[in-house]
C-alpha cells in the first residue's frame, strides 16, 4: 500500500501573474472551525462579507456577494444569468481573457461580436462606441486588467456610452481590483466579478460579485425557484429561465438575502478567507492598498529597465501589479524560470498565444506587493540571466529600484498637507 506523507508544500515566493502567496492572516482565518450554514454566526458573517465587498468595489449595490468557485465561476454566473439565448454581446478583446469572455458567451448561446487591438494595446472609448452603434448589443463585456498582456483597459468613459445606447456593462476585474482604481458606481458598471488570488491576497476558490439594481431587475425577470423548496408564494419570471442551476444569480441572491432560500452549502472556509481579504485591505485603506501596488510595481519596472531588459506593451496603460518583460535574444525563457524556481524558490510567469515564449510576466500583488519581494526577485533574475550569458552591469537593477523607492519617499514627504 502506498504511503502518503503529511502535506508539506515547498516554500515558494510567487511573483507571477497569480496566484500569489496568501496573506498569513487569511490563512489563519481559513483554519477556523466550521459553523452551520444557517447559524446566526454564519449568516451574520455573510452579511459582513456583503458590506466589506461594497467597500472593495466602491458600490452601494445591495447584491454584493460571493459565488462559490474560482474567478471563472463569477464570470459564468454573471454571463449565464445575464445573457438570454440570442442576445447580442460586444467583447473588446485585447488579450487572452477577452477571448475567454467570448467563449463563455457563446456557451450561453449569445450572438458574440468582437473588436480587437494588438496585444499590448488598449481600446479608445470611441472605438467601443463605434462598435456599439454598429452591433447594438445588449451587453458590453470587458476585461479591466488582462494579465496575459499586462494591460489595463480604461473604463471610466464607457458608462456614459453604455447608458446612452441602453447597453448593460460588465467587467472582469479578477486581476485588477485592489491593485488599480475600480469605481463600480461612479463608472456605471452593472456587474463586476473577481477572484481572491491576486491583489486581494487570498487563495483561488471564491468569486466576489456585485450586481446593479438594473441588472437585478433583468435577473428577476428570469426567476425560477426549483421544486422541493418553492412554495405557493414563489412565482416564476416572465422570461426564459437561467440555464444553470448552480450559477443562477437569482437563486444565489435569495440564499444570501433575508429569505435564506436554500441553494447550496456555502463554502465556509472560503467565506472566512474572502472576509479576511477584504477586512485586511479596508483596514489598510483601499487607496493605500492601490498606492502600495503602484509603488512596488513601479520599483520592479525601474529595476527591470535598469537591468537592460525591455518591457512589453504600452506603459501608459500597464497594470500596477503585473509587468511584461521581453525575453532577451539568445535566452531560453523556460530555462530562466526553472532556475529561478529550483535555485531560488521564486516563480515568475510565462504567457499565452502570440506572446508564448516571448515575455515573462512578473507580478507584485497582494501580500507580495512588498519591497523585499521586489528586491529578491530582481537579485535572483539578474543572477540567473548573468549565469546564462546575458550581460548587465552587476547591481544596476537593484540601484534603480532603490532610487525609485527613494524618489517616491521623497515625493511623499515633499507633498503639501492634503496634497496626496
Residue range(s) defining the domain that contains residue 30: 21-281
Assigned domain for 341 exists: yes
Out of 70-74, 130-134, 190-194, 229-233, least confident range: 229-233
The domain boundary, picked from 251, 281, 311, lies at: 281
Other beta carbons less than 10 A from residue 161's beta carbon? 18
Assigned domain for 3 exists: no
Same domain, 301 and 264: no
3-state helix, strand, coil in the chain (%, to 5): 40, 15, 45
The domain boundary, picked from 254, 281, 308, lies at: 281
Model's pTM, two decimal places? 0.95
Same domain, 356 and 405: yes
- Residue 417: is its pLDDT beyond 70? no
Same domain, 227 and 145: yes
Do the Cβ atoms of 90 and 114 come closer than 8 Å? yes
Assigned domain for 9 exists: no
DSSP 70-136: SHHHHHHHHHHHHPPTT-EEEEEESSHHHHHHHHHHHHTT-EEEEEE--BTB---HHHHHHHHHHH-
Tell me the CA distances in angstroms from 167 to 60, 82, 163, 222, one per residue in order: 21, 12, 6, 18
Tens of pLDDT, residues 359-399: 999 999 999 999 999 999 999 999 999 999 999 988 899 99
Assigned domain for 44 exists: yes
In the chain, the number of structural domains is 2
Of 193, 187, 14, residue with least CA distance to 104: 193
Do the Cβ atoms of 380 and 302 come closer than 8 Å? no
Tens of pLDDT, residues 81-117: 999 999 999 999 999 999 999 999 999 999 999 999 9
The domain boundary, picked from 239, 259, 281, lies at: 281
Amino acid at each position: 500500500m502506498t504511503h502518503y506523507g503529511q502535506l508539506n508544500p515547498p516554500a515558494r515566493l510567487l511573483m507571477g501573474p497569480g496566484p500569489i502567496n496568501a496573506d498569513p492572516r487569511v490563512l489563519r482565518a481559513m483554519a477556523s472551525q466550521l459553523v452551520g450554514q444557517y447559524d446566526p454566526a454564519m449568516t451574520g458573517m455573510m452579511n459582513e462579507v456583503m458590506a466589506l465587498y461594497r467597500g472593495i468595489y466602491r458600490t452601494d449595490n445591495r447584491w454584493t456577494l460571493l459565488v462559490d468557485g474560482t474567478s471563472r465561476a463569477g464570470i459564468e454566473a454573471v454571463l449565464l444569468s445575464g445573457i438570454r439565448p440570442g442576445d447580442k454581446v460586444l467583447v473588446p478583446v485585447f488579450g487572452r481573457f477577452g477571448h475567454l469572455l467570448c467563449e463563455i458567451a457563446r456557451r450561453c448561446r449569445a450572438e458574440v461580436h468582437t473588436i480587437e487591438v494588438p496585444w499590448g494595446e488598449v481600446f479608445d472609448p470611441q472605438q467601443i462606441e463605434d462598435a456599439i452603434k454598429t452591433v447594438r448589443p445588449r451587453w458590453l463585456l470587458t476585461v479591466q486588467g488582462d494579465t496575459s498582456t499586462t494591460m489595463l483597459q480604461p473604463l471610466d468613459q464607457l458608462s456614459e456610452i453604455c447608458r446612452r445606447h441602453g447597453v448593460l456593462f460588465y467587467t472582469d476585474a479578477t486581476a485588477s481590483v485592489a491593485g488599480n482604481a475600480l469605481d463600480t458606481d461612479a463608472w456605471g458598471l452593472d456587474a463586476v466579478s473577481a477572484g481572491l488570488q491576486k491583489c486581494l491576497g487570498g487563495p483561488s476558490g471564491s468569486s466576489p460579485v456585485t450586481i446593479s439594481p438594473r441588472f437585478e431587475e433583468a435577473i428577476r425577470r428570469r426567476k425560477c425557484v426549483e421544486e422541493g423548496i418553492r412554495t405557493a408564494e414563489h412565482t416564476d419570471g416572465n422570461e426564459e429561465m437561467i440555464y444553470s442551476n448552480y450559477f443562477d444569480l437569482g437563486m444565489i441572491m435569495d440564499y444570501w438575502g433575508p429569505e435564506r432560500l436554500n441553494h447550496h452549502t456555502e463554502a465556509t472556509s472560503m467565506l472566512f478567507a474572502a472576509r479576511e481579504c477584504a477586512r485586511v485591505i479596508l483596514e489598510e485603506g483601499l487607496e493605500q492598498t492601490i498606492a502600495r501596488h503602484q509603488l512596488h510595481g513601479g520599483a520592479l519596472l525601474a529595476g527591470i529597465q535598469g537591468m537592460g531588459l525591455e518591457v512589453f506593451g504600452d506603459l501608459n496603460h500597464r497594470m500596477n501589479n503585473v509587468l511584461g518583460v521581453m525575453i532577451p535574444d539568445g535566452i531560453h525563457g523556460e530555462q530562466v524560470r526553472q532556475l529561478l524556481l529550483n535555485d531560488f524558490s521564486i516563480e515568475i510567469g510565462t504567457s499565452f498565444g502570440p506572446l508564448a515564449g516571448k515575455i515573462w510576466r512578473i507580478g507584485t500583488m497582494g501580500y507580495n506587493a512588498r519591497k523585499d519581494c521586489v528586491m529578491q526577485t530582481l537579485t535572483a533574475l539578474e543572477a540567473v540571466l548573468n549565469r546564462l550569458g546575458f550581460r548587465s552591469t552587476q547591481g544596476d537593477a537593484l540601484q534603480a529600484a532603490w532610487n525609485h523607492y527613494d524618489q517616491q519617499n521623497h515625493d511623499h514627504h515633499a507633498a503639501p498637507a492634503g496634497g496626496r
